[in-house]
Amino acid sequence: MSKIKPSVLLVGEAPGYKGCRLTGVPFTSEHLLMNNMAGLKLFGKEAGYGLAVEKEKLLREATATIIWETLLQHHIIALAWNAFPFHPHKEGHEESNRTPLKGELLIGEKPLLRIIDLYKIKRVVAVGGKAEQTLGKLNIQCHKVRHPAQGGKRDFVEGIKKLKENYLY
């Protein structure tokens, strides 16, 4: 990302159990991180990515696929981060997701501000309500799009399209 110099930051809620929890990269899956995606020159073994534990069957994550396909379609390369950078899960069940608690979102504030400053981000897109709340609390102007999970794909795609037309020039 330091070579690409993105001016857009996508902020999610927190790492999901099938994606960023395993890869360390927001809005990715093992499959996307290691194999990239046609037209995207960002991830893959040839870009130097690897997994902490090598495995034959790589997990895919629908949200990651939807997000990067949509960004590609609209010629957007964005930096991605989460309001809470660690994976919140139900107690005793790491392969679950839960909404970050208020205190957990507080933990994520300083790293989020640092990412925005470090990359000189000009435009911030909140992917979902928790991201929007965190950004608002930090007085960071952002535009919200629907998170693509749980039936939100169409609204997410439409939201990115509108942002590209009106905000991400």
* Count: domains in the chain: 1
- Sheet arrangement for strand 123-127: 79-82, 8-12, 123-127, 143-145
Full residue range of the structural domain in which residue 142 is found: 8-20+66-166
3-state class percentages of the chain: helix first, strand second, coil last, to nearest 5: 40, 10, 50
**125-169 pLDDT, tens per residue?**
999 999 999 999 999 999 999 999 989 999 999 999 999 998 765
The parts of the chain modelled with pLDDT lower than 70 are: 168-169
Q: Give this prediction's pTM.
A: 0.92
Whether residue 44 contacts residue 36, with contact meaning beta carbons closer than 8 Å, is answered with yes
Q: Cα(26)–Cα(84) distance, rounded to whole angstroms? A: 11
Cα 6 from chain centroid?
14
Residue 92: give its domain's CATH number. Answer: 3.40.470.10
How many CB atoms sit inside 10 A of residue 29's CB?
25
Number of Cα atoms under 13 Å in the Cβ half of residue 154: 1
Number of Cα atoms under 13 Å in the Cβ half of residue 128: 22
Whether 159 is covered by a domain: the verdict is: yes
Q: Cα(163)–Cα(15) distance, rounded to whole angstroms? A: 24
- Determine the pLDDT at residue 169: 59
Whether 61 is covered by a domain: the verdict is: no
